[in-house]
A and B are shown apart, each in its own frame.
Chain A
Amino acid sequence: MTQVSSSTAYADVFDEVQRDFSGPGRIAELQRRAFEQFSLVGIPTTKVEEWRFTNVSPIAQTTFQRPMRTSASTSEIQPFVTNDVDEVAHTLVFINGAYAESLSSIAGLEDGVVVSSLAAALTSSTDAEVIETHFGSAADISAAFTAFNTALSTDGVFIRVPKNVVVAAAVRLLFITTSAHGDVATMTHPRVLVVAGENSQLRLVESYVGTGSTGYLTNTVVEVISEANAVVDHYKVVRESSTGNHIGSMYVRLGRAANFSSHAITLDGGIVRNDVHALLDGEGVTCTLNGLYIANGKRLVDNHTTIHHAQPHCRSYELYKGILDDEAHAVFNGKIIVAIDAQKTDAKQTNKALLLSEDALINTKPELEIFADDVKCTHGATVGQLDADALFYLRARGLGLEQARSVLVHAFASDLLNRIGIESVRNQLNELLLAQLPNSGGGVVYDHG
């Protein structure tokens, strides 16, 4: 599909969205500009450097429609709601892009904390003011999918944590795509805005699941604005249908001495792209980006990170691990920019991939752009198979070949899962991972140290 047809294909949708969405003037203006930008560039091809190894032509060749159905039967979604929702978390559930208040629970929030659907928050004048200030302030609409989301998003989540407030319970966002109507391919554009005030603390979990067998697109934009000294721990779990495509773009802006961590766990989905852009915009920031990606069949998983050290004395740590089987294809691209003033930067990046099949493929690339002269930047990538010595050792103790393989694969992943700070999320992911590994025997004892 050509770029022109992208814009014509979605012009009617944009008009519809404009009628539905009644945001403040600045946001409406941003949406118009975003749609113009999207119309201009269209869905990227592999000629675009950022998409060189990631062929999203299946997305370009489909004209996605807005879902007609935004409710779901209990039986359809209950497995996900019960599995994904922790009793001590604030939970917001979205069905096909629409906020499902009856399935959500937000209770006992600390004073001044706002956890709300974005559309609902816009009806409150105080929240609308904050949203108008920050919406689109970190996201970059020159990126096609960010423009696409900005133009067509009708709802999402707004979280605001005032200065000095610690949100005790985790906030969990569950986005479910169901088979919408017949075999029509649908799209949702969830939009999340988090504003964490000075000295505040928040734990946020985004989960994406798909229940249907038709093709669809989940195109998310998450903006996190962390003010000085704020601590935000973010987790993202992608379990789209194998027919579903997920393009997620997260933009993080971190103020002085802020501490941000993100763990992106990709377990399922046809084409999955996780973009993280972190701007270290004050001195003494710590930014940790970790990821685990598991793919089999002909699936494609791409993790693109950009960490922009704009100020001195910041630290960034990245650890990504991938497990690829069959003909799966993964891409890891880690860009680190160190601005001329960002002296004493400490940046460490590692990507480790385990290839379980000869036909699995990974493209891994560090991109360092360093303009300061007193910095420490290290990067490393390893791509390998299961360790033959370890396999033999396990078999020589009586474990069967399949079980020995599963144990080693799980061990490779558990290093990352053990870094997940919310126990219920960690346990759930461990179970999901074990379920994906054949004949692992269950009852694995982890080393939590």
Chain B
Amino acid sequence: MLEVRNLHATVAGTEILKGINLSVKPGQVHAIMGPNGSGKSTLAAVLAGRDEYEVTEGTVSFNGQDLLDLEPEERAREGVFLAFQYPVEIPGVNNAYLLKAALNEIRKHRGESELDAMDFMAFVKERMNVLQIDQELMKRPVNEGFSGGEKKRNEIFQMAVLEPKLAIMDETDSGLDIDAMKIVSNGVNAMRSPQRSIVVVTHYQRLLNYIVPDFVHVLSGGRIVKSGGKELALELEAKGYGWIDGVAEPVGA
């Protein structure tokens, strides 16, 4: 599914990622953990195609395609989804409109017919229930005036509708209370399938009680310094990051 090889990336001349290697197979859930400033969000942004980041070395292959060669929208249409750490507020664009436009772009790319307004509502209804998205939220401008929990639920709801092959969740748990975290986790768990891969980027172990990963990686100083199974997350929760060899000073957000 995803093969990251020796990935180096800089922002404004500062190197943030210093040789990431990561292999994600279909059906796997990988957690990427690490202290603040270790490069977690940068990795997520580079995979989604944010152009402030310059890839200086390395390759990323997605189902055999050179991911770094694709525009952000092409990546999305190929099945890469980034759940944003800070979902952007877009006044004047309504939530349902964005989601319908996004879904139809992806459907077109897959060679499927576009959905009209009625088919679209039927298509999203069940997913709205799972993530407790009400009709009112669909009519509101994208993320504008949403609470922190609503924003994150909305991200996962979009993910559920767009059915990506690879979902990258960037600190989806930050700012969530326990109830919202359960809703979000239910949404994510409902999507787990042998064909879909999920990369969960998080600072805390807590989310991983609900979304149980197959692999856990510790990112520090722009490198993956330790990898293990789900028990590694518990160890980090108990001992912090300091005990791992190679945990470096922060290099950036």
Residues of chain A having any CB pair with chain B under 8 Å: 387, 389-390, 392-401, 403-404, 407-408, 410-415, 441, 444-447
Contact = CB atoms under 8 A, between A and B. Distances in A.
Nearest to B158: A397
B102 to A, nearest CB: 4
**What secondary structure prevails in chain B residues at the interface with A?**
helix
Contact of B72 (A389, A392, A410, A444): A392
A398 B92 contact: no
B88 A407 contact: no
A222 to B, nearest CB: 30
B87 A399 contact: no
A73 to B, nearest CB: 39
Contact of A445 (B88, B91, B97, B106): B97
Give the 10 A-B residue pairs with the shortest CB-CB distance, closest first.
A411-B92, A397-B102, A398-B76, A398-B105, A445-B97, A395-B72, A393-B88, A395-B73, A398-B102, A411-B93
B101 A396 contact: no
Contacts of A395: 49, 71-73, 76
Interface residues of B, number: 38
Contacts of B75: 396
Given A399-B105, A445-B97, A447-B139, A410 B82 contact: no
B88 A397 contact: no
Given A392-B72, A395-B71, A398-B77, A403 B101 contact: yes
Interface in B68-86: 71-73, 75-77, 81-82, 84
Contacts of A392: 50-51, 72, 88
Given A390-B88, A403-B101, A397 B76 contact: yes
Given A396-B82, A401-B73, A444-B97, 11 more contacts: A393-B87, A395-B73, A396-B49, A396-B84, A398-B73, A398-B109, A407-B101, A411-B91, A412-B92, A413-B92, A445-B97
A387 B76 CA distance: 20
B73 A399 contact: yes
A403 B97 CA distance: 13
Nearest to B141: A447
A380 to B, nearest CB: 16
A401 B50 contact: no
16 contacts: A387-B88, A387-B90, A392-B88, A393-B90, A393-B142, A395-B71, A396-B82, A399-B101, A400-B73, A400-B105, A407-B98, A411-B92, A411-B141, A415-B91, A445-B97, A445-B100
Nearest to B105: A398
Nearest to B93: A411
B179 to A, nearest CB: 26
Contacts of A408: 90, 93
A399 B49 CA distance: 13
B146 to A, nearest CB: 13
B119 to A, nearest CB: 13
A399 B93 contact: no
Indicate the member of A400, A410, A447 with the most B CB atoms within 10 Å.
Answer: A447
A447 B90 contact: no
A353 to B, nearest CB: 16
Contacts of A447: 92, 94, 139-141
Contacts of B46: none
A307 B167 CA distance: 54
A400 B103 CA distance: 13
Interface in B51-80: 51, 71-73, 75-77
Contacts of A397: 76, 98-99, 101-102, 105, 158, 162
Nearest to B116: A443
A447 B48 CA distance: 29
B169 interface: no
B156 interface: no
B94 A446 contact: yes
Nearest to B103: A398
B96 interface: yes
A398 B88 CA distance: 15
A387 B92 CA distance: 13
Contacts of A415: 91-92
Contacts of A390: 88, 90
Contacts of B141: 411, 447
Contacts of A445: 94, 96-97, 100, 117
Contact of B106 (A398, A407, A411): A398
Given A401-B71, A401-B73, A447-B140, A394 B98 contact: yes
A392 B105 CA distance: 15
A445 B50 CA distance: 27
A398 B97 contact: no
A412 to B, nearest CB: 6
B71 A411 contact: no
Interface string B203-217: 000000000000000
B115 to A, nearest CB: 11
Contacts of B101: 397-399, 403, 407, 441
Nearest to A417: B92
Contacts of B94: 445-447
Given A398-B106, A408-B93, A447-B139, A393 B84 contact: yes
A410 B92 contact: yes
A199 B98 CA distance: 44
A154 B183 CA distance: 70
A415 B103 CA distance: 25
A396 B93 contact: no
Given A408-B93, A415-B92, A447-B141, A398 B71 contact: no
A389 B96 contact: no
A407 B102 CA distance: 12
Contacts of B117: 445
Contacts of B77: 398
A396 B140 contact: no
Contacts of B142: 393
B163 to A, nearest CB: 12
B99 to A, nearest CB: 8
Nearest to B78: A398
A414 B91 CA distance: 10
Contact of A389 (B49, B88, B105, B158): B88
Contacts of A414: 92
